[in-house]
Amino acid sequence: MICYLSRNYKGVNSAGNKAKADVEQLMQAQGFRNVGKRQTRYTHTLPAFFSTLLSVVKGVCCLRRGDLLVLQYPLKKYYTFVCNMAHLRGCKVVTLIHDLGSFRSKRLTIPQEIERLNHSDALIVHSEAMKEWLAQHGIRGKMEVLGLFDYLSESQPATSLTPTQGCPYRLLFVGVLSERHNGFLYKLAAAPHSYEMMLYGGGLETDKLQSPVNDMGFVPSDQLIATSQGDFGIVWYGMELEGGIGPLGEYLQYNAPHKLSLYLRCGLPVIIWDKAGQAPFVRQHDIGICVSSLAEVEGVLAKLTVDRYLEMKKNTLDISQKLSEGFFFSRALAQACKDLDIPNNNEQ
């Protein structure tokens, strides 16, 4: 039996919690067994802590010999304990990586993280670049590439194939809009341009902007998918127009940002760093533009014909449909099961 371990999520507005909750929903829909407690969404620290702790304890006690346990990483202090207990009970473990702490938070050294992840029999990783990096640093188990995080929502993107000839392209960004968090937005607005900027989120410092932007405010993701006003989603992090600057910029070389999935669910082709881990995916599926610096965007858009844009838009809507169905996680898990010689069904 394929099993999973549900836990507490402090709401699903954050990208990480939304992605993990979606994976749980997909596993439940496919008939996998939740060996833990039901999913909770306590926001206070103590109820959240005890809910996840009780789920972990219940989960390891309910595993049966021959089960396959799917874990979502990071699982904080419980991960190694759960893997060890699963193996003691005669089970195998597949781990879906959401974030690498040695990159993002720096709370772990690289050797510490590799040691943790080596407790899993197989890993589902974001990209070929992440797979290669992990292998170089000592991962011993099988690895399968996810590609994109699926994005579940009953909302559907508008299918109108815009823009029309003569209208400026609209660049959309969702996230924290303060200069300290995403200073590149202020530099992009200051650069000579004909595009419009549609900024969704909070913290915009209008007094620091050198040219007008469209402050759209915070919009819940389900509503954004159906109503987004934009032509391209910007997958970028940090202070600079150049790609790969700063910790999050460097991390973009390996990860699959949840923001990328959100833009594609909105039906928006993307603009992404050409050395990003997902740049090969964007090129392969023809769903956006890859640039080394956002300073190139004005020139690229000036040469972009409406017909060429419509090709990317059509391809993007095809990917959006797959994201809404859980295609990418289901495919990666099926391959991981094959690697471990575990039937990807519940007829055991």
142 and 249 in one domain?
no
* 336 closest CA partner among 90, 142, 150: 142
Find the CATH number of the domain harbouring 224.
Answer: 3.40.50.2000
Copy the structure tokens of residue 249: 């910029």
Residue 104 CB-density burial (10 A; 0-12 exposed, 13-18 middle, 19+ buried): middle
Q: What was the pLDDT predicted at 161?
A: 63
* Residue 157: inside a domain: no
Position 165 in a domain: no
Residue 96's DSSP bridge partners are 72, 124
Q: Residues 21, 42: one domain?
A: yes
- Helix axis angle for 15-29 and 258-265, nearest 10°, is 70
Determine, yes or no, domain membership for 348: no
pLDDT given at position 183: 95
SS3 content of the chain, % helix, strand, coil (to 5): 40, 15, 45
Which pLDDT score is estimated for 345? 59
Same domain for 197 and 292, yes or no, is yes
User: Do the domain assignments include residue 155?
Assistant: no
Same domain for 144 and 177, yes or no, is: no
Do residues 189 and 301 both lie within one domain? Answer: yes
Q: Is residue 159 part of a domain?
A: no
| Predicted pLDDT of residue 103 | 83
pLDDT at position 347 is 40
Residues 15 and 119 in one domain: yes
Residues in the chain where the model's pLDDT stays below 50: 346-348
Domain match, 135 and 47 both:
yes
The pTM score is 0.93
* Alpha-carbon span 225 to 264, nearest angstrom: 9
Q: Which residues constitute the domain of residue 180?
A: 170-323
Q: Do 102 and 179 belong together in one domain?
A: no
**Whether residues 110 and 235 fall in one domain:** no
Instruction: Say yes or no: 333 and 285 in one domain.
Output: no
The reply to whether 164 falls in a domain is no
* Edge-to-edge strand list for the sheet holding 122-125: 33-34, 2-4, 68-73, 92-97, 122-125, 142-145
What pLDDT, on the 0 to 100 scale, is given for residue 166?
62
Question: What is the total count of domains within the chain?
Answer: 2
Does 290 map to a domain? Answer: yes
The values of phi and psi at residue 232, to 5°, are: -140, 140
Residues 198, 294: contact at Cβ < 8 Å? Answer: no
Report the helix count and the strand count for the chain, using DSSP H and E: 13, 12
Residues 220 and 113 in one domain: no
Q: Does 113 share its domain with 237?
A: no
Residue 238 in domain: yes
